[in-house]
Every structure is written in structure tokens, then in C-alpha cells.
Amino acid sequence: MLSVSLHGIKIVAPIGMYAEEKVHPNTFEVDVDVWVRTEEGKEWPFIDYAIINDIVSAVFTPDKEMLEELVQQIHTSVQQEFADAEKVRVCVRKLHPPLSNSVNYSQVCWEK
């Protein structure tokens, strides 16, 4: 099995459930892993990570509020783009979320 990964995609966007997050954008970090089956002696499939980057960028629109929405839309789009994918894992982290304690990040992942 071959895996192609793009990790640490950083995006600043006005996404969040609280009004202040629409005014003061949050910094997000995204990891995407795509697994495809390979066979010895046959040409391996090509997973273009530039397309993965474009998919991630397109999802971060101001109408989103929850990390779960972002993860689901990225996951679905990557699976549609790469039909040969056996498994896709997407993680979205909100860096330093606005909480009462110091927190490095909140994270939501989906793997299927």
C-alpha cells in the first residue's frame, strides 16, 4: 500500500462558532493522508498533492463554523478526486483556540 501525505497545511480563516472568531481569524493546520493499493510490476497510481492542497484551501470559507464540517468536506472531496484511494485520513487543528486555559490546539480527524 502506498501513502501520499500532505501535513501542516496552514490556513488563516474567520471560522468558528463565536462572533469574535469571525472578526479575529483563527489559524488552522490540516493533515491529509491518502492510501492507494499498489501491485508489484504494475504502474503505481499518481496522487497529486497539489490537488489536495487546492481542495483544502477551497473548503475554508466563512460560512463554516465547526471543525467537523471542514473535515467531512475535505475527506469527501479527496475521496471523489482520487477514486483509487483505499483510505483517506483528514485532521484539522485549530491552533491556540480561544479558551480560558492555554491550549496548543483542538483537533478533529476522520479516517475511512
Three-state DSSP class for 78?
helix
Give 67-97 pLDDT, tens digit per residue: 999 999 999 999 999 999 999 999 999 999 9
Q: How many CB atoms are closer than 10 A to CB 93?
A: 20
Domains, the chain, with CATH or none: 2-111 (3.30.1130.10)
Give 91-110 pLDDT, tens digit per residue: 999 999 988 999 999 999 99
Mean pLDDT for the stretch of residues 57-76: 95
Mean pLDDT for the stretch of residues 12-31: 92
Residue 23 vs residue 80, higher pLDDT: 80
Contacts of 87 (CB under 8 A, 6+ apart): 33, 34, 35, 111, 112
Contact 13, 26 (CB under 8 A): yes
